[in-house]
Structure 1
Amino acid sequence: MPQDTPILIVGAGQAGAMAAAELRRLGHRGRIVMAGGERHAPYERPPLSKSVLADAAQDGKIGVHPAGFYAGQEIELRLGTTVTALDPAHSVAHCADGEAIRYAACLLATGGNARVLPTLPPGTPRVHYLRTLDDAARLRDAMQRAREVIVIGGGFLGLETASTAAGLGLRVTLIESADRLLGRALPPELGSWLAQRVLAQGVELRLGCGIAALVPQADGVQVRLADGAALQAPLVVVAIGLTPEVALGAAAGLALDPANGGIQVDQQGRTSAAGIYAAGDCCSQYQPRLGAHMRLESWQSANEQARIAAAAMLGVQTEPAAMPWFWTDQFGCNVQMLGAATPDTRYAWRGIAASDAPCPRFMLLGTRHGRLSHAIAINAGGDLRPLRALFGHAVEDLLPRLCDDAMPLRQLVRDLPTAAASPTTL
């Protein structure tokens, strides 16, 4: 790879920052240029709906790397720079300011954008979307001046935002069009438990409520529900999902996943165009454990995809992607998930706690075809580590012992005869 022709990273977020660091760790001494549209150095997004939303002092504590890292590693960080076009045939990127950057390899780490309600576009007074640090600062300021908020969307972001708002003393109404919370990520019984906990924390929860109309008003927004109810609040947060930012790749002719819209990549992060890679929320990658291409919108997935793509750009062998892992903090619960849920996953409970318990602690163990494929820990994240040894193993006959919460899980796993059943693709 020519030393004076840079590796170009488009997107200065989690995946981009981790890929740049990995390139240096693997010994690359050539130029690295990272272009990002925001004015902030790369920062972690999970705190935006939690600690940052509650405390302005956290703004400077969420950098992916410490201050001085990029200069010290000779990474050319170009903030406020938008790449508007890629020319894969000539390995050139064109920027909004007129600059053309010739690259030796290019990583698209463009992330995604908040999904928008057409009747409440960004910029509507008293309406907030939460995707960037600037979004969080604006919402935090608005919450300090409001007594009530309506959160539209009962996914992870909506729940975290509602939890933070309730913790700050706001009256919160959470509206979810589905009949349960986190339907694609949690089994119905755990979704019901979580709904009861949300109610126990003082949040008004409207499940299975379609929205008939959204009417901006001088003093807030009126939300008219399909059942005829009308709600109004001086502040509304819309958290209805993410759309992958793929416009740059699509215009360059890169193949997109027809099912989820992400940029298609192989197991090394390569796109359909030679020399162009993708990582993070913008890309769709085949997941062997699930047998399908998926977009995994998570901190861990961004890190893993960036690590693997960086190695591939340098032609270096590296470890395969780690098992999917995700976490969320909401309503006094740290929820950690290892593996992935599928419609045919069957769950067994290890312990149980009342939904209004001060600090509930329990787990759900999910199996597919009798093999452990998913684990959900509520305030019990430490127990996921010993369970890793069982993933892919036949455990159906062992579930009664594994679900006995009177026994330490580490000891149970150590004593189980896992050698009798070899792991397979989940």
Structure 2
Amino acid sequence: MTQSGVGSVVAIWRYPVSSLAGEKLPRAHITERGLSGDRQFAIIDTETQETVQPAKKVWGRVPRLLSRQDPEDGQVLVSLDGKDWLHHDDPQLWKQLSTFLGRHVSVQPYGAKLKDRIAQHRYSLSPIHLLSRQALDALKRILPGSIIDERRFRPNVVVDLKSEGGKPPELNLLGQEFSIGNLRLRGTQPCGRCSFTTLEQFGVPEDRSVLRTLITQYGKNFGIYCEVLNEGWLELGDEVVADLHSAPSSIVIVGAGQAGGSTARVLRECGYEGSIALFGDEPHPPYERPPLSKNFAVDRDQPALTSVLTSAEAEAMNVNVHLRETVVHIDRSKRIVETASGMEYPYDRLVLATGGTARRLAKLDRGYGRIHYIRTADDAERLRRAFKNAASMFVLGSGWLGLEVAAAVRKNSIDVTLFGRDARLCAKALPEVAADYLERVHVENGVRFVLGKEPRFTEHADHVEVVYDGKVEKADLFVVAIGIVANDHLARRAGLDCRDGILTDTNGATSDPEIFAVGDVSRQSSSARLDGIRLESWQNATEQASRAAHAMLGRDGPSLPLPRFWSDQYDITIHIAGMPDPSAIPQSADDGPYPFWQFENFAIGVNRPREVHQFAISQEQASVGKLNGNGSPGEKPAAKGTRRHLPDMRPLREGQLERIHVEPIGEIVVARVGDEYFGLQDRCPHAEASLSEGFLEGRRLVCPLHFAEFDLATGTPYNAPKGCSKARSFLIEPQGDQFFIWVPDAG
């Protein structure tokens, strides 16, 4: 991405006391926490101990007050009229404020201990609010009778930017890094405005039309929030250096699976405001495919799908989802896609996330319902229902899918014979030492293997027959798990470069600069393989979707992480970090019931997520799993709700995790770091994984499945899949050998 000078700083504002008018500065020191001295104090209601909120009618006069920092001693000063200033802790000031506001109040620094709580910020967002002069001018044109003053919107930095098109140019900074002077910033999200914007402020009259216009014209957003990447000084006139690439007005995504749904989500998270249309063949909103082969319990209801983008989320994000609508043609010259129903949809950028189709055996399926393939949710549900009347099953395919199916089926006490044309399991993916271990695990669980053969299968009305080495055997069901064929036919007919997948760079860009391909269908260029590589993995579907979304918007995306894979079979999880080489010999091995093997460029662990994670971190130059700073946690949850005794809780060792049951919460995981105890809900918000089976890295708890990290104090996710929400956190109070938990009240 090429960056150039696109504007300059025209105003700098600091607000020492939240909700009060602030002071205009010629220069300011900026830290990773924001502008020095900004929003360090608050007005506190003496009776309720709550931070005042001007959006509440009772506090509607607060924005008329002013605050500034004394240039001599750095003390915070407050004024009711802009003439007489008093120190924030002056009793005379508190008396004046109480009279003005009609309630007893005080001015306190955030973090101050009140009667029974700590003074806390009402919300936590990126520390710098940036607004462009162009956005202000556009609002003035819409509301010529209103006073559009930058003070109404409380920005920290006002900039004069080059503008292309009608939208505020700062929105093009969302998701990208840029410079102002010697500062490095990253635009994180649009700044949502509230009724505070309409209130009378010092020097600015009340005007309800402002917020109404922001809602109708800008979706309530005005300006953007920015993350500070390095400390420095900001001065008037500093140059803004960025890439104000004009975003496409419409994006069509073909394929409503994990990669397609993730692309739509990331586009919106990057602040993209154009049209997004998402087309899928199935009746289900985007979901993850890996769980499909892991859960076939016949004595339970149909398992819920692991959603990537729910219908409600798509609606809230204004993503137009077209389910059961197949795209059959791409007209690249007109930039139009056509569906099977004859409808046409234009695009500025097109994303092909068409995945793959289960590879089939010719002349096998005669319509008796005994042949099964697993690629979709409906495929998995048909197989689960078929188990109710089955006692035996054949599986063809000795790769990950075949082994996962065999493991899941054995939990239902069904006899399984697994056929593989190679002489060992996962012959194209696993070194011999790991393949032999997996074979022993399956044999111990009752799976029978027939490897290195060329079996012939025939479906009959009441059974499936197999012939090999002159032997004839029968089973009730047959699952074919011999890989997928990339769904690149749409791209091939459109003239894109394809070779068992659509040829792309690592960002998903194809031979047509307006078309991207992501997920299983993308064959990415690779320095290690001349013919590229097509990765069929959960990680690739998520990560490449993110890189493609950023690239379409002209922004730098996340760096390429080390490839990671995992597979659940019986009570074990196999984790792999790096691209495995089936011919490799371990450089070191930690054998036992749950071994860990380290090779030159990859590692494999069985129920050893910590070791695999640490290996990955050591291998990545720009690690997505590396902790920032010293890993200090955020503020603990407040002591609110009901305090309950934990009678079964005992002191933990340093670094120990303990799973306990607490009514009405359910299962939680308690962790000890130093002398502190932390509590999180014992379920990864993104996946069916128990966090108590994870491990600690500094002061974050790492999920054993996707390696998402959760702040022990706040539950905030780091290095997590897109859309992963916070883990619910709880305040744990040790008193001697007794422990208590604060359970929030319902509602």
Q: TM-score under structure 2 normalisation? A: 0.49
Q: How does 1:1-400 map to 2 (within 5 A)?
A: 5-51=249-295, 57=301, 59-121=303-365, 123=367, 125-211=369-455, 213-225=456-468, 227-257=469-499, 261-288=500-527, 293-342=532-581, 345-353=584-592, 360-367=593-600, 373-391=601-619
Q: Is contact 2:256-2:278 (8 Å) kept?
A: yes
User: Could you tell me which amino acid in structure 2 is paired with residue 215 of structure 1?
Assistant: T
- SS of equivalent residue, structure 2 residue 390: coil
Structure 1 residues 121 and 313, CA gap change in structure 2 (3 angstroms): farther
Q: Deviations over 1:344-384 (max 9, x none)?
A: 5331343212xxxxxx32211111xxxxx101010101222
Structure 2 distance, partners of 1:337, 1:54, is 30
Structure 1 residues 201 and 192, CA gap change in structure 2 (3 angstroms): same
- SS of equivalent residue, structure 2 residue 422: coil
The count of aligned residue pairs is 381
Mean alpha-carbon deviation: is it higher for 14-23 or for 280-289? 280-289
Structure 2 counterpart of 1:400: none
- SS of equivalent residue, structure 1 residue 113: strand
User: Could you tell me which amino acid in structure 2 is paired with residue 37 of structure 1?
Assistant: D
Structure 1 counterpart of 2:100: none
User: Could you tell me which amino acid in structure 1 is paired with residue 476 of structure 2?
Assistant: P
Structure 2 counterpart of 1:419: none
Q: What is the CA distance between 1:410 and its match in structure 2? A: 8.9
Q: What is the CA distance between 1:58 and its match in structure 2? A: 5.3
Q: What is the CA distance between 1:6 and its match in structure 2? A: 2.1
Q: Gaps spanning 5+ residues in structure 1: where?
A: 354-359, 368-372, 394-407, 412-426
Q: Is contact 1:54-1:164 (8 Å) kept?
A: no
Structure 1 residues 303 and 58, CA gap change in structure 2 (3 angstroms): farther
Structure 1 distance, partners of 2:618, 2:696, is 12
Higher helix share: 1
Structure 1 residues 297 and 284, CA gap change in structure 2 (3 angstroms): same
Q: Deviations over 1:126-175 (max 9, x none)?
A: 11001000001100000121111111111111000010000111011111
Q: Deviations over 1:197-228 (max 9, x none)?
A: 211111111111211x2222121110111x12
Structure 1 residues 104 and 123, CA gap change in structure 2 (3 angstroms): farther
User: Could you tell me which amino acid in structure 1 is paired with residue 545 of structure 2?
Assistant: A
User: Could you tell me which amino acid in structure 2 is paired with residue 219 of structure 1?
Assistant: D
Structure 1 distance, partners of 2:298, 2:574, is 20
Q: Deviations over 1:70-101 (max 9, x none)?
A: 00100001000000000112111011111111
Structure 2 distance, partners of 1:21, 1:409, is 29
Structure 2 distance, partners of 1:106, 1:54, is 41
Aligned CA-pair RMSD: 2.3
Q: Is contact 1:119-1:214 (8 Å) kept?
A: no
Q: Deviations over 1:222-265 (max 9, x none)?
A: 0111x1222211111110111100110000001013xxx11000
Q: Is contact 1:53-1:136 (8 Å) kept?
A: no
Structure 2 distance, partners of 1:122, 1:85, is 31
Q: What is the CA distance between 1:277 and its match in structure 2? A: 0.3
Q: Is contact 2:349-2:514 (8 Å) kept?
A: yes
User: Could you tell me which amino acid in structure 2 is paired with residue 60 of structure 1?
Assistant: A
Mean alpha-carbon deviation: is it higher for 49-58 or for 343-352? 49-58
- SS of equivalent residue, structure 2 residue 383: helix
Q: Which has the higher contact order (CA 8 A, sep 6+)?
A: 1
Q: What is the CA distance between 1:8 and its match in structure 2? A: 0.1
Structure 1 distance, partners of 2:272, 2:436, is 50
Q: What is the CA distance between 1:301 and its match in structure 2? A: 0.5
Structure 2 distance, partners of 1:234, 1:30, is 52
- SS of equivalent residue, structure 1 residue 70: helix
Q: Is contact 1:49-1:136 (8 Å) kept?
A: yes
Structure 2 distance, partners of 1:76, 1:131, is 24
Structure 1 distance, partners of 2:346, 2:422, is 47
Structure 1 distance, partners of 2:548, 2:529, is 21
Q: Is contact 2:247-2:553 (8 Å) kept?
A: no
Q: Is contact 2:507-2:551 (8 Å) kept?
A: yes
Q: What is the CA distance between 1:295 and its match in structure 2? A: 0.4
User: Could you tell me which amino acid in structure 1 is paired with residue 428 of structure 2?
Assistant: R
Percent pairwise identity:
36
- SS of equivalent residue, structure 1 residue 150: strand
Larger Rg: 2
